[in-house]
């Protein structure tokens, strides 16, 4: 038994060191029956899971802010977890937590955080800072957040996935990250950001910004996102596509512009597509451009919009390389 315990301790230590986690010596006076998890009775209704050498914590069953706070006041033999989950299904009652205070997680940190379908309306600006050095995924969705600590992105060198859709976020500042590849800010009606809010995210591959009441796309808004593959600006209020507004430095695979109010498209508005790239649009936009150009083809610097390639019920514009 002693040999097995020593082996588990060594395995957990090596795993956490490999992830860059800092291990602290356990207090010998603290007897932990569920090692390496905290004692279950101390963290209820949160549940700690061990999958081989990885630890995760599920607090989806909490019924109040006080209960969540109490769970993290328990003794944690290891404070570096792979995953925190606080999620309710969309057809279920929301998780009844309202705020994440500065010290809510005490010294416990996470590599992945998933929070969704809650009553959360306030997040302290530094609540994720202790996890920032090894945070890879941050998902806080389907809640009532108005202010989100986006500044944390600058401190998270491993963060690849940030999703904050279905909230009430008011402002998105310029962020700087060489690691972020996926950003979803959709369904935040009225969110405001600058013309070049994404230019310091050079490795961004997927940007989803649908249903945010977006009315304007600046020239060269995405020119510095050299790895962008997918851009969703659908279900917004865009009326005009200015020259170079949808211009890409490297070929992009798919753009969604459907369900906008686009009535003007300047020549050169869209450029930098793969030969087989697709622009999702609307029948109105198709007919508008077709009537203006006669043959239904709009010549662009990097390709041609060919309306003969429309597919399915949702309209597509297939770009064919020249």
Rounded to two decimals, the pTM is 0.81
Tell whether 11 is covered by a domain. no
How far, in whole angstroms, is CA 270 from its chain's centroid? 25
Q: Are residues 179 and 278 in the same domain?
A: yes
* Full residue range of the structural domain in which residue 98 is found: 37-165
User: Which whole number is the average pLDDT over 45-65?
Assistant: 95
β-sheet bridge partners, residue 84: 57, 113
Tell whether 28 is covered by a domain. no
Each as own residue / partner, the long-range contacts of residues 283-292 (CB below 8 Å, 24 or more positions apart, any chain) are 283/315, 285/257, 285/260, 285/315, 286/310, 286/315, 286/317, 288/263, 289/265
Question: Is pLDDT above 70 for 33?
Answer: no
Final residue belonging to a domain, choices 141, 165, 189: 165
Residue 301 vs residues 45, 158, 184, 224, 319: alpha-carbon distances, Å: 59, 36, 29, 18, 11
- The closest alpha carbon to 310, from 286, 292, 289, belongs to 286
For position 74, what pLDDT does the model report? 96
Query: Residue 54 and residue 44: Cα distance in Å, rounded?
Result: 20
Q: What is the DSSP string of 9-37?
A: HHHHHHHHHHTTPPP-PPPTT---TTTTS
For position 113, what pLDDT does the model report? 98
Q: Are residues 42 and 140 in the same domain?
A: yes
CATH number, domain at 178?
3.80.10.10
Q: pLDDT tens-digit profile of 308-320?
A: 332 322 233 333 2
Final residue belonging to a domain, choices 125, 150, 165: 165
Apex 93 CA angle, 61 and 171, nearest 5 = 95
Contact 86, 110 (CB under 8 A): no
Tell whether 5 is covered by a domain. no
Q: Are residues 189 and 143 in the same domain?
A: no
CATH number, domain at 99?
3.80.10
Q: Are residues 208 and 254 in the same domain?
A: yes
State the pLDDT confidence band at 54, using cuts at 50, 70 and 90: very high
Residue 129 vs residues 17, 45, 146, 312: alpha-carbon distances, Å: 19, 25, 19, 46
Q: Are residues 177 and 290 in the same domain?
A: yes
Tell whether 65 is covered by a domain. yes
Q: Are residues 238 and 188 in the same domain?
A: yes
Q: Are residues 96 and 185 in the same domain?
A: no
Tell whether 304 is covered by a domain. no
Contact 164, 145 (CB under 8 A): yes
Query: Residue 315 and residue 256: Cα distance in Å, rounded?
Result: 10
Tell whether 151 is covered by a domain. yes
Final residue belonging to a domain, choices 165, 200, 232: 165
Count the domains in the chain: 2
Tell whether 257 is covered by a domain. yes
Q: Are residues 190 and 260 in the same domain?
A: yes
Select the more confidently predicted residue: 286 or 101: 101
Q: Are residues 198 and 124 in the same domain?
A: no
Tell whether 290 is covered by a domain. yes
Question: Tokens 């590849």 map to which residue?
Answer: 181
What is the CB neighbour count within 10 angstroms for residue 5?
A: 10
Q: Are residues 195 and 82 in the same domain?
A: no
Q: pLDDT tens-digit profile of 228-257?
A: 999 999 999 999 999 999 999 888 999 999
Q: Are residues 268 and 281 in the same domain?
A: yes
Q: Are residues 152 and 88 in the same domain?
A: yes
State the pLDDT confidence band at 85, using cuts at 50, 70 and 90: very high
Would you put residue 294 in left (φ > 0), alpha (ψ -120 to 50) or beta?
left
């Amino acid at each position: 038994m002693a040999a097995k315990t020593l082996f588990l301790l060594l395995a957990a230590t090596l795993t956490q060191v490999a992830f860059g986690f800092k291990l602290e010596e356990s207090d010998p006076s603290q007897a932990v029956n569920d090692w390496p998890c905290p004692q279950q009775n101390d963290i209820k209704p949160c549940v700690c899971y061990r999958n081989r050498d990885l630890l995760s914590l599920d607090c989806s069953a909490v019924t109040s802010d006080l209960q969540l706070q109490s769970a993290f006041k328990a003794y944690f033999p290891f404070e570096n977890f792979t995953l925190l989950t606080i999620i309710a299904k969309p057809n279920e009652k929301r998780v009844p937590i309202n705020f994440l205070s500065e010290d809510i997680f005490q010294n416990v940190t996470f590599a992945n955080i998933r929070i969704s379908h809650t009553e959360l309306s306030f997040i302290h600006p530094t609540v994720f800072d202790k996890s920032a050095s090894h945070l890879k995924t941050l998902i806080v969705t389907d809640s009532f957040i108005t202010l989100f600590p986006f500044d944390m992105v600058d401190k998270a060198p491993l963060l690849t996935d940030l999703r904050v859709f279905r909230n009430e976020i008011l402002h998105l500042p310029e962020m700087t990250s060489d690691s972020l590849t996926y950003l979803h800010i959709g369904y935040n009606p009225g969110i405001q950001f600058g013309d070049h809010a994404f230019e310091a995210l050079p490795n961004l591959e997927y940007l989803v910004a649908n249903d945010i009441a977006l009315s304007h796309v600046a020239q060269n808004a995405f020119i510095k996102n050299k790895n962008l593959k997918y851009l969703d600006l659908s279900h917004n209020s865009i009326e005009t596509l200015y020259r170079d507004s949808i211009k890409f430095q490297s070929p992009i695979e798919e753009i969604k512009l459907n369900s906008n109010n686009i009535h003007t498209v300047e020549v050169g508005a869209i450029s930098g597509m793969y030969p087989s790239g697709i622009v999702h649009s609307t029948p109105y936009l198709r007919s508008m451009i077709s009537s203006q150009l006669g043959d239904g083809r709009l010549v662009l610097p990097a390709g041609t919009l060919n309306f003969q390639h429309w597919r399915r019920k949702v309209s597509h514009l297939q770009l064919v390389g020249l």
